[in-house]
Chain A
Amino acid sequence: MNPSTNKNGCVLTCCGRPAPTSQSSVISTLSDKMPIKCNTGCQKNAVLKRPKTGDALCKECFFWAFEEEVHHTITAAKLFTPGDYVAIAASGGKDSTVLAYIMKLLNDRYNYGLKLVLLSVDEGITGYRDDSLETVKRNEQQYDIPLKVVSYEELYGWTMDRIVQETGRKSNCTFCGVFRRQALDRGATLLEVDKIVTGHNADDIAETVLMNILRGDIARLQRCTALVTGSEGAISRSKPFKYTYEKEIVMYAYFKKLDYFSTECIYSPNAYRGYARAFLKDLEKIRATTIIDIIHSGECFSVREGIKLPTQSTCECCGHISSQPICKACVLLEGLNKGKPKLGIGKTSKVREHMNEIINEKLGDEPKQIPQTTITDAGITATHHNKNKNLDF
């Protein structure tokens, strides 16, 4: 008897077909039919339907498929070399918990030869972050991976709670995101790791592609689908879960009984990303493979010639990578410290004015003597360049 005659079951299909039933059910309810056999032909009964391909699989085959896919992503992109010291960005949520588990598992199974450490960022959001940090500490014990926590308080002197008090609820995701990225980099530098891995999954990347199209951010659109990001000097970051669906991560954690903390950040409801996310969820209901299709489309993009892109250099204040003379984190911090919280959120001309004021204050009596390496240099050369340009025409 051919075990693959899944044609009995109305639900089972070849890959990529949109599921007729709602995708929200993790375990397919096929109570009116005979038990469906696992699609791989291993003779066991299927207990779940894969959100990604629609195939019915038993638990072990699903685990195998999931792990193998991540392994394939890692090897195909040559993410690691043996002997690397790798930091796993851990927030305590589902992605990072499963990531920590999988990295440990694959490291042991396939002998990547990596030394792992968990790196966690404490933004100082009461009721959200302190709970998830408990989860990370539990992970540290369960998976036997050392943990390092860096907090906004010690790095910048501000917690997210205080920032929201200053700026209100509208642009707080900007602050948190910019600060967190730098916090991860700084934590990684402190630990002296070679690489960082983050738990961004396929849904996140598809959302980012959509969001960047909606906001017209060409530069980010080019970069967001790359598996490995980071330039020279900065620690490279990679996303092993790039092709893994969020639903499958949850399914994996559920069946493996991995514990994680799952709540939305209390400040997030007004983010623009919410629109892209809602759209993506609707698309996923219509056709399950849209998520990967969007990533594929994103990988095929490049920018037309003649379009100006912001160049990447380093910040003059702190030395981090930045496309402006002063990086966003320094600008935001400056704004917070000087009581002008909207400094980094509003117009760039205001930023430049503010920075010029600071320089003039610092120089005191002789505002005219501006050394070559100051920030205003960029501003002045820019205006000169503009004037020249007009004359040329």
Chain B
Amino acid sequence: MCSVDPDELTVMTRATGGLDISGLCFLSYFVHKFRSTIGKSKQIQPGDRVLVATSGGPSSAALLHLIREGLNENSHKKLRFEPVFLYVDESCVSNSPKTGPEYVEKICSEVISRDFLCYVTSLQQVMAPEAHPPVLFTKEWKEMNLPGSPDLDKKLCELLTSCRSISAQQDLHEQLRHKVILQSAHDLGYTKVFFADNSTKLSINILSQVAVGRGSQLPSRVHFRALHRDVEVYRPMREILEYEIQQYILLHGLTILPAPSFNPEGTSIVSCTEEFILGLQKDFPATIPTVFRTGDKLMSTSSGSSKCSTPDVNGDSGSKSTANVNNDPCVMCGSQIDTGQCEASAFIATLVSQKLSCNHPSVHTLQQNSTNRISDGKSKMILNGEVNDSNELKNTVSKTEDSCDCSQNSDCCDGAKSTANSGLKLLTKDMIEDLLCYGCRIILKEMTEVQHLPVKMKQTAAELERRRHMRAHIQDFLL
């Protein structure tokens, strides 16, 4: 017997609380969760134009159905925003690239059949210097309409394979996909985007992001509303479990289309986390809701003021110069840079370890005096793991960010003086490293060839680097 409405017969058990519940009661509970997530935040106003990112998977299918039902209701309960759908084709990096166009048609037809507009773009757009805006899907769709070219395909595959480990590849892929969607929203003129992430996926995300070092970015990946530059990202399905979505799909008989996507074989941090959480959930059914709620309550600390034990951080010249850096967002993922922390932090500890593992003890006496300036000279000292001889070390240690010593590091001046193109070619790992957040630095460390990075990213990096030198020159006169 259904525990909510005794007259109805049980159809299934609800995952949380293990209650027996009938189909109708479950559906009303499910829809209520979706509506209340949107409603209680009061962020979606009537008439808002929203871009909904769809992947063809279960959550996306459920979201499509929910939105359609919500808009159909002719009462005060009617959902009142104007959605438009976006599908990102990832077939070029999947195991079956040829099936890409077929799935584009299937998924977009599904969307169109519900009377919504659907745009299509592809993942390789992220590699292009000027991204092609997403193309509207119509009944007369032809394979040629898909934006992209074989050259971009190749570049994207090269980029992903240049990361040595699967975890880095997956992380990078996630960042790129995010970028493409936000870029498309920008191109189409939408300021609000919906993602169909469900509670299970978000819980796995929380733990795997922590494991990858992106704890500071948790709020923007997990909260209902997140702001990325000028686009707001919403996750209306965030309180619904994967199990519940599957039941919903079963009850309504929706079609799931598993689109070709990036799915590397082998263990990675994400797959390990997924296994762990799903396993733990069986023994402790409250795991996923608890992890999810914990992630909900967390914010990231503002850069520089995190868990420092040193009382006077401001007096330190090292942290002062890095504090200026933190206003720029990370070049790869667009989030706040979280490496501007004080001496007694995990980040500085990793740098110290690297330094100590590469240098001969006799040189250490030099370093003793300049421990305070590690954050200044760190990137110069670690040039792709090669050992510098002690002379060069002496020079780099005494060099502060203010001086631009051309004889030492020809890259920076060339970048400043010549045009953008030649500056790109000389971009080295350590130059880009400074401009990245902690999580992206890990990806960068694993990349064999920095030149595979998207052109746009390299341009932004070079530009930021030049601006830094400019700022360093006029540092003393800025108020």
Contact = CB atoms under 8 A, between A and B. Distances in A.
Nearest to B438: A296
Nearest to A72: B352
A283 B269 contact: yes
Contact of B269 (A77, A275, A290): A290
Contacts of B167: 286-287
Interface in A291-316: 292-304, 307
A16 interface: yes
Pick the most buried of A41, A42, A301, A307: most chain B CB atoms within 10 A of its CB.
A301
Interface in A64-99: 64-65, 68-69, 72-73, 75-79
Nearest to B345: A299
B294 A14 contact: no
Given A15-B385, A293-B211, A295-B346, A275 B280 contact: yes
Interface in B338-364: 338, 341-350, 352-354, 356-361, 364
B446 A289 contact: no
Contacts of A283: 211, 269, 272-273
B157 interface: no
A297 B357 CA distance: 24
A216 B442 contact: no
Pick the most buried of A53, A275, A293: most chain B CB atoms within 10 A of its CB.
A293
Interface string B420-441: 0000000000000000001100
Contacts of B290: 214-216
Contacts of B446: 16-17
A40 B445 contact: no
Interface stretch (A161-169, A191-199, A218-226, A370-378): A218-226
Interface string B277-318: 000100000010011011111111100001101110000000
B387 A294 contact: no
B361 A64 contact: yes
B338 A304 contact: no
A73 B349 contact: yes
A298 B211 contact: no
Given A296-B346, A297-B213, A65 B353 contact: yes
A213 interface: yes
Nearest to B208: A283
A57 B280 contact: no
Given A14-B384, A213-B291, A297-B209, A73 B344 contact: yes
B459 interface: no
Contacts of A213: 206-207, 210, 291, 294-295
Given A41-B387, A226-B309, A296-B215, A55 B268 contact: no
Range for the number of chain B residues in contact with chain A: 35 or more
Nearest to A297: B215
Contact of A300 (B287, B300, B311, B360): B300
A300 B297 contact: no
Nearest to B339: A296
Contacts of A228: 309
Interface string A24-53: 000000000000000111100000001011
B457 interface: no
A273 B385 CA distance: 37
A314 B267 CA distance: 48
B33 interface: no
Contacts of B341: 299
Interface in B157-177: 164-165, 167
A60 to B, nearest CB: 8
B96 interface: no
B345 A18 contact: no
A4 interface: yes
B306 A299 contact: yes
B276 interface: yes
Interface string B132-143: 000000000000
Nearest to A304: B299
A65 B351 CA distance: 12
A286 B169 CA distance: 13
Contacts of A282: 272, 276
A75 B371 CA distance: 10
Contacts of A17: 164, 445-446
4 closest pairs, A vs B, by CB?
A297-B215, A14-B385, A293-B213, A76-B343
Given A39-B387, A76-B344, A216-B293, 14 more contacts: A4-B386, A18-B164, A53-B354, A68-B364, A76-B371, A77-B344, A242-B349, A243-B350, A289-B350, A294-B215, A296-B346, A300-B306, A302-B298, A302-B300
14 contacts: A15-B385, A39-B387, A55-B357, A65-B357, A69-B353, A72-B349, A75-B371, A77-B309, A79-B309, A213-B206, A216-B291, A287-B165, A293-B439, A296-B347
Interface of B: 164-165, 167, 206-207, 209-216, 218, 267-269, 272-273, 276, 280, 287, 290-291, 293-301, 306-307, 309-311, 338, 341-350, 352-354, 356-361, 364, 371, 382, 384-387, 438-439, 442, 445-446
